[in-house]
Amino acid sequence: QNIDTAEVPAIVAGDLNAESLQEVTAVAGAVCGLRDLDVHPLLFASNEVPSPVTSQTMRRKSRIDYVVFSDNGLLEPIDDDRAPPPLEEEACIPDATHPSDHLPVIGSFKFADRMRRALFCARRVVRDILGATVP
């Protein structure tokens, strides 16, 4: 059976060196367009796990590290208290406590409950049969 990978839950995490998710999706979409590659729906229907500033140096204080996931209803983020607390306002990293110039980002997920998965499958069937989208 062929599986449409565009419909499976996707998670992308790490140092994206961008100060907004919109910047990441714009660059990725442009690269896919220039190389004539299919664009994964994650670029247009994604959500992100909230996190504080992840890079704080003398020159910048910004969030450039992300955990991004498919917004197709199959993944649900779970509260996770393992992320480090935000840095003090005047702190600069790396330092003795933080050996990197990036703080870690953490995301925990669970698969959607049975009802949400059934709804996702029903919408897919309607789309495949009728060629239409349903709300």
pLDDT at residue 134, rounded to an integer: 57
Q: Are 101 and 52 in contact (CB under 8 A)?
A: no
Q: Does the pLDDT at position 19 exceed 60?
A: yes
CA distances from 82 to 9, 61, 105, 106 (A): 23, 22, 9, 7
For 70-129, what is each residue's pLDDT tens digit? 887 788 888 888 888 888 888 999 999 889 989 989 999 998 888 888 887 787 788 778
pLDDT score for 55: 92
Cis peptide before 52 (omega within 30 of 0): no
User: In the predicted model, what is the mean pLDDT of residues 1-16?
Assistant: 78
Cβ count within 10 A of residue 105: 21
What percentage of the chain reaches a pLDDT higher than 90?
A: 16
The answer to whether residue 40 scores a pLDDT higher than 80 is: no
Give the 3-state secondary structure of residue 79: coil
Q: What is the mean pLDDT of residues 25-39?
A: 82
Name the residue with higher pLDDT: 133 or 59. Answer: 59
107, 49 contact by CB (below 8 A): yes
Q: What does the pLDDT look like over 64-73, one tens digit per residue?
A: 999 999 887 7
